[in-house]
Amino acid sequence: MIKTVTYAATTPGPKLLVIGAIHGNEKCGAIAINRALGEFDAGKLRIAKGQVTFIPVCNPRAHEEDRRFVERNLNRYLVPMENPDSYEARLGNILCPLFAACNALLDIHSYTIGGDPFISYDGHTPEEREFAKAIGAPILITGWGEVYEKMGKGRATSTEEATGGPQYARRFGAAAVTLECGQHKDPKAPDIAYQGILNALRHFEMLAEDAGGKGKPPPSPKHVHMTHVFYRDEGGELAKNWKNFAPVKKGAVLATYSGGKNIIAEADGFVILPKPDCPTGEEWFYFGMEKSAV
């Protein structure tokens, strides 16, 4: 069972969907959404136009067990299936129609290695770019889909491997962004998530004028474009205890596979979302380069 809560105004407007805990051990989205639900129910927040739908916990069993997922990553291969073959696939059949029905999606996450919050978005439409900037994170990332499309080199992958909630929602015209709020257990992460929710509602002019306070103007963000995703298919070790967005120079050793082959930085850039204890076969880390201001 998945809980959804919708607040709708009598004045037409955008349909915003806000989701948390698509990975069960990422708690900040659920905490922030439940805080927002309490404030809507108490009248402290009110919708002036359109409707907002909240899903505090997209993966209930994994959330209860404090695990990333139960049988497979819910935020990959997230498409409807005629014969769902796992718990997460059955959840996907519930979630996909909700993604398809929204005009905008805010997907709230946290991550393994500590660091600054950031926004991941597609970057191909001005509407989504402005939505991403409005959330207020200091770093914007593009290129998620492209790194999966080009990784190749004989690795057997499905064309749907990179499809999560935002990617599926975009197929139906939605502006969709992912807010990464910091490390899973960072006490600031739920506040960052909650502020992201308010900023999303304000961006679409959905909050009543007297609700939620004025907020702060978003910062001028750094823009990083992902260029590679590396899997820990062969085992191995990271070259350092990399932090998220650790800067590296061209030619630096990023990691070494168990067989001795080094992964080398092809340009000056950043190590993104490193997972030192990554299980074999999963995404180990990403690499990206800074781009000009957006």
Neighbour-count burial of 6, counting CB atoms closer than 10 A to its CB (0-12 exposed, 13-18 middle, 19+ buried)? exposed
- Check pLDDT > 80 for residue 144: yes
CATH number listed for the domain at residues 226-291: 2.40.50.100
| Rounded average pLDDT over 93-115 | 95
210 — pLDDT class (breaks 50, 70, 90): low
Domain residue spans in the chain?
5-203, 226-291
- 89-103, 211-225, 234-248: which has the minimum mean pLDDT? 211-225
- Check pLDDT > 90 for residue 217: no
Structure confidence by residue, pLDDT tens digits, 22-75 = 999 999 999 999 999 999 999 999 999 999 999 999 999 999 999 999 999 999
What is the DSSP code (8-state) at residue 290? E
Q: Using DSSP, state whether 146 is helix, strand or coil.
A: helix
Q: What is the pLDDT of residue 153?
A: 44
- Bridge partners of residue 275, in order along the sequence: none
Q: Give the Å distances, CA to CA, from 288 to 83, 245, 291.
A: 37, 9, 9
Q: What is the pLDDT of residue 8?
A: 97
| CA–CA gap between residue 56 and residue 62 (Å, rounded) | 13
Helix residue spans in 138-293 (DSSP H): 144-150, 165-170, 189-203
Torsion angle, alpha carbons of 183, 126, 122, 199, to 10: 20
- Check pLDDT > 80 for residue 84: yes
Contact by Cβ (8 Å): 142, 119: no
Q: What is the pLDDT of residue 154?
A: 44
Q: What is the pLDDT of residue 205?
A: 96
Structure confidence by residue, pLDDT tens digits, 64-75 = 999 999 999 999
Mean of all residue pLDDT scores within the chain: 92
| CA–CA gap between residue 37 and residue 57 (Å, rounded) | 13
Structure confidence by residue, pLDDT tens digits, 176-206 = 999 999 999 999 999 999 999 999 999 999 9
pLDDT-above-70 percentage for the chain = 93
CA neighbours closer than 13 Å in the CB half-sphere of residue 178: 26
Specify whether domain 5-203 bears CATH 3.40.630.10.
yes
Contact by Cβ (8 Å): 151, 228: yes
